[in-house]
Structure 1
Amino acid sequence: MYLKVYAPASVGNVSLGFDMLGAALLPIDGSYLGDEIEIQDSESYALDYAGRFQHVLPSDISDNIVTHCYMHFSECLKSRGLTPRPVHMTLHKHLPIGSGLGSSASSIVAALFGLNTFFDSPFNKNDLLKMMGVMEGQISGSVHYDNVAPSYLGGLTLISELEHEVARKLPSIDTWYWVACYSGVHVSTSAARKILPQEVSLQTTIQFGRQLAIFVDALHRQDAHTAQTVIQDVIAEPYRKSLLPRFDDAKAFALENGAGAFGISGSGPTVFALCDDLSQAKIINDWLAQHYIQNDAGFSHICQLDLEGSRIVKE
């Protein structure tokens, strides 16, 4: 048996929803922005690397998160009275590590979604999301779902972390364009978490809750304007932007040239601009490509939401 799956890149937090909102991205030019994994039967477990960013992966496959996913999935199979079998996996690493685009989440989602499909889907979506959260916690130091959930489910997701429902998809605004620009600079998720204060003020807490409530309500009412007006990060951006060279200039340009919102994708350094108009998105995309990208590893894409999430691309 042979299977190839894909899991899209994602924007964590979406500025106003720290650890509670995530969005899956799909470039409008039809290209994939995410990791792929091939799985086939084998006499023993094996993992190969391919893709643009394979050089940043650990040389010892036992240190790779995909191997950890296979081991964890196998233990979960045994807990259900099922027997795992060895597989040969190939990780096509298309996302840079430490980019703020859910790179680890993309690999985790592709691995676990692929393995579940390969073994005739013994686990439901909620089961898989919990596994994905555990694996993400191995990378970042804490369990959070704002990248794995959109990468797996697609679209814009709200993290509920209920026992019966880890996350749910929210209504999307079809007219939005998401300009996502990766500068090429590496930002550690754990380091970006350490820079944040351990406590926030009562005023900030109230503002955070108000914005998130208004945003979710506006999505259900398809009120794009109101939804955009509350996409402001009062928790992380004031601190994390110090890790992102040229962030203030990029935000100023985007907002002055038609973006309805601008923020940090996850822990950064990727930034995103939200636009209603494609011509505005192109102007901002071109400027970010020229002024925010700092080395050959960087890239910028105009995207819309990837509503499908993880999927089979070949079998």
Structure 2
Amino acid sequence: MSRNALTVYAPASMGNVGVGFDLLGAALAPVNGELLGDKVTISAAEQGIEFTQTGAWAHKLPSSAADNIVSQCATFFLSKQGIEQGVKLELEKNLPVGSGLGSSASSVVAALYALNCFFNSPYDQNALLQLMGEFEGKISGSVHYDNVAPSYLGGMQLMTDTPSSVCEAIPHFKDWYWVVSYSGVSLSTAKMRALLPEQQDMATTLDYGRRLSAFVHASYKGDPQMAIDVLKDVIAEPYRAAAIPGFVEARQALNELGMLTTGISGSGPTLFTITDSLAKAEQAKLWLDDHYLCQAGGFSHVCKIDEQGARAL
């Protein structure tokens, strides 16, 4: 077991990435060098689990340690591994809850990555990822990996769910800027999922498959125009757009600014909008700061795809 305190950072992430509902995710890294994500610090304790939480959004979490997902991760991990050594965990909650930026996934990834490193990595990468998906599903309402996978592994991840692999990294366009804007409104993932129909018609299903496969093909081919042409959410956005305050108006305004495409990050209310021009990205950020942010705590960032994923600081 490591004797030294360890701090792990897990980046924010976009689920769905518009075109890949539940099957595509990407990690985010602000271009100004800020860390956009949660941190967990682990150290040895005399016995049991000591848990504290700090950070800008800690007040939105359950006050009881037993009800916090990070503490629950530790309880499970120690029990499963038969570890009697006590641990102290501190969660620095930097992502807003219900933001569409993989907030719960970031906490879970940071916690389990820290625990696994601290106790000499009893779980391999695939097993740890599966455990992350299970715990994140306790909060979002169902097990899916499009936030935990990129937050853990970095890059853009396609969910494959095969016996040997939960996901596979796919190429991404390195000259794209992803401007993300969180309005300040909190939207439950479970409630936003409840807006979707239980079944999709054949035409929509085929269109979804066509767009996702074409996007993956364009990513490998290095064809940004094809990727933009098909990067549209036909599964969730038609049902969620009106439920996100200001989204429809923002999408129209960003199109008029010349952004390549705009979509919902995860289940919202955070939106993403793409350009290959830093100047245009900054222009979009300014517009979003002035017109999309509607409650205290809202923010916008110009980002690239985070290549690293979770890491020790």
Q: Does the pair score TM above 0.5? A: yes
Tell me which amino acid in the other structure corresponds to 1:247: F
Q: Which residue of 2 aligns with 1:259?
A: 259
Alignment of 1:211-226 (within 5 A): 211-226=211-226
Q: Which of 41, 45, 49 is the matching residue for 1:42? A: 45
Q: Is the 8 A contact 2:29 2:305 kept in 1?
A: yes
Alignment of 1:144-183 (within 5 A): 144-183=144-183
Instruction: Tell me the secondary structure at the aligned position of residue 289 of structure 1.
Output: helix
Distance 1:85 1:124, change over 3 A: same
Q: Which of 18, 35, 57 is the matching residue for 1:53? A: 57
Structure 1 stretch displaced more, 250-259 or 297-306:
250-259
Q: Which residue of 1 aligns with 2:241?
A: 241
Distance 1:28 1:309 in 2: 15
Q: Is the 8 A contact 2:155 2:307 kept in 1?
A: yes
Q: Scaled by the length of structure 2, what TM-score is found?
A: 0.97
Distance 2:19 2:170 in 1: 15
Distance 2:222 2:79 in 1: 43
Distance 1:84 1:169, change over 3 A: farther
Q: Scaled by the length of structure 1, what TM-score is found?
A: 0.96
Q: Is the 8 A contact 1:229 1:260 kept in 2?
A: no
Distance 2:307 2:159 in 1: 16
Q: Which residue of 2 aligns with 1:11?
A: 14
Tell me which amino acid in the other structure corresponds to 1:284: A
Instruction: Tell me the secondary structure at the aligned position of residue 133 of structure 1.
Output: helix
**How far does residue 260 in structure 1 lie from its aligned partner after superposition?**
1.3
Q: Which residue of 2 aligns with 1:193?
A: 193
Unaligned runs of 5+ in 2: none
Q: Which residue of 1 aligns with 2:75?
A: 71
Distance 1:221 1:76 in 2: 44
Instruction: Tell me the secondary structure at the aligned position of residue 160 of structure 1.
Output: strand
Q: How many residues align?
A: 309
Q: Which of 20, 27, 37 is the matching residue for 1:24? A: 27
Unaligned runs of 5+ in 1: none
Q: Is the 8 A contact 2:171 2:220 kept in 1?
A: yes
Tell me which amino acid in the other structure corresponds to 1:173: F
Kindly report the root-mean-square deviation, in angstroms, between the aligned alpha carbons of the 2 structures: 0.9
Q: Which residue of 2 aligns with 1:118?
A: 118
Q: Is the 8 A contact 1:116 1:122 kept in 2?
A: yes
Q: Is the 8 A contact 1:181 1:270 kept in 2?
A: yes
- 1:5-54 Cα shifts (integer Å, max 9, x gaps): 00000000011100000010000000000000100000131111111111
